[in-house]
Structure 1
């Protein structure tokens, strides 16, 4: 049986494995292991001796760990600790890179025999390591010696993608870290770098809460990381067993992930091909007894005109006629090309976008499950994605009523993947759009599932992609989405097409 990529969440499994590991439930304990308490006593004794010999400075002790701080039970051979307790006994064992004024581009020099590397965020934290192109002189390196890194040091990204970690390899060139990086130097007689990286990954969510900034997240607090958070310390031998077991499990996950990704690509290609055939009238046969689409469209127009006459809806400016140059391919005689905006239901705000950012700010959010905010991240390739849950209040919804959306409505993404469409599920009390989405309520005389498939087909999406605006964040607009055209078959054929699409795609998921 094939693995359904929609049901496989590799990241959730990784997080579960890490959680079990940090609770002492991933590998068995060995009674012959030297307990972590002995390790901690050794480091205390070593530190006291170095202070006595005046080789290091005496520092204020970290506060004892209270029972209230301990989030869960750990094995008897383990101990809770603060990161400051297990750092290298050198001064400055954890350090953020120098401020920009201490390491400006003006200090950079061409590479030569006597130059030193400047490690940067983005080129010092990946397995295929790229050390970048910036160097400093020997004199400048001496001035910045407290920011120097050496093999086995841990480097942590502190800006952008916060928390990416890397152990500097033995063949890495000498150098210093820049402002966006954090260097951590551990006491390796107490804790292995490999185990610490895994423990750090499990803590990254808590650390990110201390990060600042919106568009680009910036450095979490080193003080918080070192002094406030508590970490679980197993015996040294068990640390190695945990790291080895996680490496084995993560390798298996990567294999499954690769196969599911390849399977997902095949599903996407198949779906694209099926929809393409459907939109060209080549998926099911035409039936000469079907009422032509032209008659269906006249009914929609007549219904709208009657409601305008009765003053139940407002008259709107008609969309421009469709030219032959706009039509990307030929369709059967019983079909018609029509603009999406001409297929809406005759109700107010049948096609509307979300409020501008100033009308739906973080200050308007609530922790209560009141009005679910439909975000770009909810518009998945295969339907609604129930993640990144955010709510606003019932009271605030009154101010942005035009953006309210209801279960069964179609919602289209304005940003990449621009043009992707889903149906709103029936799971939350109420829904409202974010600024990145557009709702589309189709006329009841049409088959809603056919329209959803048509919007997700290349026939429509190609038009969207050809007229995107912006470079960093390409987007479309409500006006453009209204004006893009769809091939529209007779209603009976719409229903036959949706049944055939559903059958073919169901076979692909078996």
Structure 2
């Protein structure tokens, strides 16, 4: 990593993309280099930015005198520039955005149609990844003659001014091929002297860290919405290179961002291919009709293991396959002489286990301190989380000992039992106690000693159980009842075999955990390498 410079960085561009979100980080580095004057070399023959800005000011004064534009009120806001300003190359200078813009246009707040009648109305939905996407969010407006002042012209830079906080500040350059359009109410259109200030360079600034660092403190937040007013837009400061260098920066930046897009596309295709191969291999394994077929497909997975499981995203499918195969009895086949066969008659969960529903404790009983109440929000994947707790007094808790939880109890969320990250099921640990069971959470109570609790815990996490859940609707919330769970078929093997299955599953899933940790550690290492390389070239 010693001696890393811009040239070395770009020569090894693709080698740095194994990190998490690596391509996004590469894009950020490209944009930072662009606005710092480190992306292209300077040319002493270029007219300096200070002379360029004098021409811009003269142009604005002439247009104001001619009555073609209005004078932009300079912002009285002050920005703490100490954390923003950095040294610039010769010929560059810092300037306020209001000194560069001829005028700022904002569209009307009028009713639109989607029938293609009238002129196109550019909304925030049309600003995607730094480009104007007219395939999204079609809207048109009648009566264009009344709002002619909002018309967009090629080279106008569109800046989103009302949106959610994470999306605020999206931008794009309006081009000739976009046809006739006006700027929407939630966007500003910045008209520039395009022969002096290159619009695409301003667009690069709006995507860079220099803009984003200024945006957050100037943002006005409301419920589910954030906005920036015209005066805030006027107050942004940005580094300005000579006009000829602006063009060189844009050309180099465009080429590198295209390379980033290509790398990202290849990465996505590789990951999709690995996930598809993994799913196919596991499907063949799970649907094998004979022992020979099973061993054949398992051997194929073993032979290609390093490829199939070279990314952490494939590990969850492997875990689920292990659980399903284990619950089908395919990992443990030998029985001791004194073991009885599994029950021949079809059984249900209710033959072995009862689901106890929690009590509907009244919210007015809740206290800051006291005995914890286990709510569905507290159930994670295999463990309980107490970042959001409800409690009642010990005196009241003593009246509800029926709902007292103990170490090793298995609990499940009956509301939204399955979320995108998995099943909300957990075991109660010693550190979770004391606590009581609240409504919409179920506790499994064993009715017989014929079922090992660890075996049942793994069975609940297997596809056999998860695929049996068919959440209904309860007050608009996906819900499963205790009766539905108890009615699910469940035919456990003899107790001794259950214990051997648990031992095998524990061993295999530990290997999965170790492999996943190793793959994530490799990514973290790549991320560190990427960050070190980025810091070196930015301070070079």
User: Under a length normalisation based on structure 2, what TM-score does the superposition of the two structures give?
Assistant: 0.57
| CA deviation after TM superposition for structure 1 residue 57, in Å | 4.1
Change in 2 beyond 3 A, CA 1:109/1:11: closer
Task: Tell me, in whole angstroms, the C-alpha distance in 2 between the residues paired with 1:290 and 1:7.
Answer: 52
- Which structure exhibits the higher relative contact order, with contacts defined as CA atoms closer than 8 Å and separated by 6 or more residues? 2
In the alignment, is residue 130 of structure 1 matched against residue 135 of structure 2? yes
Among 121, 125, 136, the alignment partner of 2:124 is 121
Between the aligned partners of 1:4 and 1:337, the Cα distance in structure 2 is 52
1:96–1:183 CA contact under 8 A, matched in 2: yes
Partner of residue 261, structure 2: 254
State whether residues 154 and 167 of structure 1, in contact with CA within 8 Å, keep that contact through their aligned partners in structure 2. Answer: yes
Paired residue secondary structure (1:251): helix
Q: Are residues 276 and 74 of structure 1, via their aligned partners in 2, closer, same or farther at CA, if it must alter by over 3 Å? A: same
Aligned to 2:302: none
2:188 aligns to what? Answer: 182
- The aligned residue for residue 97 of structure 1 is 107
What does residue range 308-347 of structure 1 map to in structure 2 within 5 Å?
none
**1:26-37 alignment runs, 5 A limit:** 26-37=39-50
Helix, strand or coil for the counterpart of 2:247?
A: helix
1:69-468 paired onto structure 2 within 5 Å: 70-87=84-101, 89=102, 93-99=103-109, 103-105=110-112, 115-123=118-126, 128-130=133-135, 134-137=139-142, 140-157=143-160, 158-160=162-164, 161-202=167-208, 203-204=211-212, 206-207=214-215, 210-215=219-224, 217-227=225-235, 229-265=236-272, 266-267=274-275, 269=279, 270=314, 271-272=316-317, 275-281=320-326, 284-289=331-336, 352-354=375-377, 416-417=419-420, 419=422, 455=461, 458-463=463-468, 466-467=470-471
Give the match's secondary structure for 1:122: helix
Q: Structure 1 pair 446/10, CA: closer, same or farther in 2 (3 Å)?
A: farther
Q: SS at the partner of 1:494?
A: helix
Q: Secondary structure at the match of 1:32?
A: coil
Looking at secondary structure, tell me which structure has more helix per residue: 2
Shift, 1:285, TM fit: 3.2
Q: Is 1:162–1:208's contact at 8 Å kept on the other side of the alignment?
A: no
Give the whole-Å Cα distance in 2 for the aligned partners of 1:8 and 1:232: 27
Structure 1 distance, partners of 2:229, 2:57, is 25
**What SS does structure 2 have at the residue aligned with 1:279?**
helix
Partner secondary structure for residue 30 of structure 1: coil
> For 1:212, what is the secondary structure of its paired residue?
strand
Quote the RMSD (CA, aligned, Å): 5.3
State the match for 1:304 in structure 2: none
Q: CA deviation at 1:478?
A: 9.1
Does the 8 A contact of 1:37 with 1:79 survive in 2?
A: yes
Indicate if the aligned counterparts of 1:117 and 1:136 stay in contact, CA closer than 8 A.
yes
- Matched with 1:499 is 507
State the SS of the aligned residue for 1:232: strand
CA positional deviation for 1:479: 6.9
Which of these two proteins has the greater Rg computed from alpha carbons? 2
Tell me by how many angstroms 1:501 deviates: 4.7
Per-residue CA distance 1:87-119 (angstroms, 9 max, x = gap):
1x3xxx2222213xxx235xx69757xx43333
In 2 relative to 1, CA 274–205 (structure 1 residues): closer, same or farther, beyond 3 Å?
same
Contact 2:220 2:228 in 1 (8 A): yes
- After superposition, give the CA deviation of every residue in 1:263-291 in whole Å (9 maximum; x if it has no partner): 44434735425523532326633342599
Aligned 8 A contact 1:17 1:246 in 2: yes
Shift, 1:324, TM fit: 6.0
Deviation at 1:491, TM superposition (A): 3.5
Q: Is the 8 A contact 2:412 2:425 kept in 1?
A: yes
How far the C-alpha of 1:337 sits from its partner, in A, is 8.8
**Cα distance in 2, alignment partners of residues 223 and 293 from structure 1:** 81
Structure 1 residue matching 2:124: 3-state secondary structure: coil
Runs (5+) with no aligned partner, structure 2: 1-13, 280-313, 358-370, 398-409, 427-440, 447-451, 523-540
Cα distance between partner residues in 2 of 1:440 and 1:19: 54
Post-superposition Cα deviations, 1:173-228, rounded to whole Å, max 9, x if no partner, equal 3232332332222222332222211210122464355153343x34332321222x
> What is the aligned residue count?
398
Q: Is the partner of 1:118 in helix, strand or coil?
A: strand
SS of the aligned residue for 2:125 comes to coil
- CA deviations over 1:420-452 (Å, ceiling 9, x no partner): 5799xxxxxxxxxxxxxx9999x9x8669x968
